[in-house]
């Protein structure tokens, strides 16, 4: 099956930028997503990027897509303590409606 890979942990200082990375395996993936999960809650869609885009910016969030390397990243500018959560990368393989999720990256923001 398809594997979406992410590092498990990232620790940053409040006010710094955070960059969460993800690699996916299906070169025909159409949509790629970033979800956020806060403690005790479900996953919440943060943003998406379509496969014909290289970059998407939404306020403090910047998504970069490198299709050649099948690499996706999420940059959070001016990281705040409220950004502490688990961030999941997900892809929609070509011809499918079923998302494949990574294991999630725990972002820890310390003062």
Partner 1 sequence: DAGVIQSPRHEVTEMGQEVTLRCKPISGHNSLFWYRQTMMRGLELLIYFNNNVPIDDSGMPEDRFSAKMPNASFSTLKIQPSEPRDSAVYFCASSSGTLRDGYTFGSGTRLTVV
- Which residues of this protein are in contact with partner 1, per CB under 8 A? 30-31, 33, 35, 40-45, 48, 50, 88, 92, 97-99, 101-104
Q: What is the closest distance, in whole angstroms, from the C-beta atom of residue 15 to partner 1 in the complex?
A: 29
Residues in Cβ contact with 82 at an 8 Å cutoff, skipping those fewer than 6 apart: none
Q: What is the closest distance, in whole angstroms, from the C-beta atom of residue 73 to partner 1 in the complex?
A: 18
User: Do residues 47 and 59 make contact, with C-beta atoms less than 8 angstroms apart?
Assistant: no
Radius of gyration of the chain (CA): 13
Of 43 and 64, nearer to partner 1 (C-beta) is 43
Name the β-bridge partners of 65: 72
Q: What is the closest distance, in whole angstroms, from the C-beta atom of residue 14 to partner 1 in the complex?
A: 27
Of 14 and 43, nearer to partner 1 (C-beta) is 43
Residue 56 and residue 48: Cα distance in Å, rounded? 8
Residue 5 and residue 71: Cα distance in Å, rounded? 10
Of 12 and 99, nearer to partner 1 (C-beta) is 99
């Amino acid at each position: 099956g398809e594997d979406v890979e992410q590092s498990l942990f990232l620790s940053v200082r409040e006010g710094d930028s955070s960059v969460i990375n993800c690699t996916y395996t299906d070169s025909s993936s159409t949509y790629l997503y970033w979800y956020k999960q806060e403690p005790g809650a479900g996953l919440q869609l943060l943003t998406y990027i379509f496969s014909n885009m290289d970059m998407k910016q939404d306020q403090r969030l910047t998504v970069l897509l490198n299709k050649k390397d099948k690499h996706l990243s999420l940059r959070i500018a001016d990281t705040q303590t409220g950004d502490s959560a688990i961030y999941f990368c997900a892809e929609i393989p070509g011809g499918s409606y079923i998302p494949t999720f990574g294991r999630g990256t725990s972002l820890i923001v310390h003062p």
